[in-house]
Amino acid sequence: MSDNTTPGSAGSKEEEAYTIHPASPAEDHKHKKSFLSTYIFSTDHKMIAKQYLVTGMIWAIIGALFSVLFRLQLGYPDASFPWLESILGHWAKGGRISAEAFYAMITMHGTILIFFVLTAGLSGTFSNLLIPLQVGARDMASPFLNMLSYWFFFLSGIVMMSSLFVQTGPASGGWTAYPPLSALGDASIGSKIGMDLWLASMALFVVSQLLAGINYITTILNMRTRGMQMNRLPLTMWAFFFTAILGVLSFPVLLAGFILLLMDRHAGTSFYLSEIFIGGRILPNEGGSAILYQHLFWFLGHPEVYIVILPAMGIVSEVLAVQSRKPVFGYTAMVFSLFAIAMLSFLVWAHHMFVAGINPLLGSFFVLLTLLIAVPSAVKVFNWLATIWRGRLHFTPAAMFAIGFVSTFVSGGLTGIWLGNSTIDVYLHDTYFVIAHFHLVMGVSAVLGMFAGVYHWFPKMYGRFLNNTLGYIHFWITLMGAYVIFWPMHYEGMAGMPRRYYDFSNWQSFKQFGTLNEVISLAAIVVFAVQLLFVLNFFYSIFKGRKLTTLNPWKANTLEWTTPIHPEHGNWPGEIPVVYRWAYDYGKNGEEFIPQTIPPMPGEKDIT
């Protein structure tokens, strides 16, 4: 076997592990591809993963920049910044962001980060990159649909971006787009064409996610290589599998809600509207209920939390096991906890609606289910800690971000116990306590998990390493900055400070937080700046980073490290490897690691 198909650190053992899946004649035939077919309209899952990653990074910069701008208003409500007017024009006359622009930025920040970055950017990148490689497939079940899923996402982004340049501005009704504000064009300036573009963009986004999710599920179920039983799948695959199922089942409900909202806006229907007055004028809408929209939105909205966090959980599980040089603790419990989280995520949506007038008895059921979902989450935390306990942990940037994920997931998740209690939630709802909770447990944690994945699999994507020194700087400033930003918000929320307010300086009770808000805003600027440092590291390393010289730099067991350093479309130039064992045989039989392609030794017990 040629050198470029054999992981250098496993020696001759791995040569025995390749099996009977021959390359097709079409794959043997080499032909030159055009630039468009290679880099733009590619059907290669690895290139599509790169497209998702770079697009997600662009959107992350835009979404984070919006947060920096509205934090300037919150931290320095009486100050003016003349340079803002040159950038934002009439949205920042005299150097002060207008109230309309402030609410538009909040709306776009939430929409972009939750959907375009943490859903498409995270899941789209690593599901595309790893699913065929880790299950042992040439590509996705449908490479063409896979390409279409990215281009629907890209088109969705174009429509969303265009809303930033219409005269009345982008949508400004919050990322949840609650009616009647979103259902009536005359409700505010941000409820006009910008809201239509927002809805059109989100509809295209849902199509993208459905195409992708069906592809992911089909590939994992039907295209595993010989020997890759479900109980031998890496935990990343289980996480991506359940994430795809959540998306396929919940996104259509959101799309239905958006269609009804568009009909209320333009077709004279009253699904969400009833007894509405605008400027003293009575609208003819009767019989609708804005609460119906909340049910439809949050039936997607809460599974969306786990659509965001489950891929990060899978990435962290893999990175911690590899870098600890230990078998992952409680593999079966980890899989069942993923399943429990996915199942329960469909049964807790109304805890977002405790103050919406739902029946208290019904609310008590949602309290129970909300608190119950903490159990499988706690199982995962325990297993992560047990995995690294007394392990020979290599503190690579990827490992640092994975440990940071566990930290923010725990500290942010604990406050969910407060908000899951309907009595306490009545007081804390729509305060800064909620912002602190979900940004730490979902936003920051998912971002840290995403960074762990980028640092870990960057050599597989580009054949080079990211700069470690810049990686450590990136980690420490990001983690500490995140805590400086969001931890104080818990105290502001407990004091009753409401979210989404443009200016708190007129409230005597909230003036005490003026200095604290300045600190939070400064921390947000610093954290944003260090993300730009990561972007610089990323693109510089693609071309000038330290070259990968061995197929398996982390000495991992999974199949992606058996492909060439620069794999072609089809991944393996010859036969696809056969799998003989699970993915976490570390420190066994006197070996530091035993790849999945190594047959069991005589008398060796298969842990799976």
Phi, then psi, of 71 in degrees rounded to 5: -70, -30
Confidence bin at 2 (pLDDT 50/70/90): very low
Q: Which two tokens stand for residue 553?
A: 């730099």
Whole-number pLDDT of residue 283: 87
How far apart CA 117 and CA 111 sit, in angstroms, is 9
How far apart CA 49 and CA 44 sit, in angstroms, is 9
Question: Is residue 13 pLDDT above 50, yes or no?
Answer: no
Q: Which residue has the tokens 């063409």?
A: 144
CA distances from 459 to 464, 545, 546 (A): 5, 10, 9
Instruction: Report the half-sphere exposure of 167 (CA within 13 A, side-chain side).
Output: 0
**Which tens digit of pLDDT belongs to each residue from 266-300?**
999 999 999 888 878 888 888 999 999 999 999 99
Which residues touch 40 (CB under 8 Å, ≥6 apart)?
none
Q: Which residue has the tokens 């971002």?
A: 447
Give the global pTM: 0.92
**Which tens digit of pLDDT belongs to each residue from 516-561?**
999 999 999 999 999 999 999 999 999 999 999 999 999 999 999 9
How far apart CA 355 and CA 409 sit, in angstroms, is 26
How far apart CA 508 and CA 495 sit, in angstroms, is 12
3-state secondary structure 503-527: CCCCCCCCHHHHHHHHHHHHHHHHH
Which residues touch 473 (CB under 8 Å, ≥6 apart)?
530, 533
Q: For residue 418, what are the β-bridge partners?
A: none
Nearest CA to 131 out of 559, 579, 581, 565 is that of 559
Domains defined for the chain, CATH in brackets: 42-561 (1.20.210.10)
Confidence bin at 606 (pLDDT 50/70/90): low
**Which tens digit of pLDDT belongs to each residue from 215-267?**
999 999 999 999 999 999 999 999 999 999 999 999 999 999 999 999 999 99
**Which tens digit of pLDDT belongs to each residue from 573-585?**
989 999 999 999 9
How far apart CA 575 and CA 591 sit, in angstroms, is 26
**Which tens digit of pLDDT belongs to each residue from 360-385?**
888 999 999 999 999 999 999 999 99
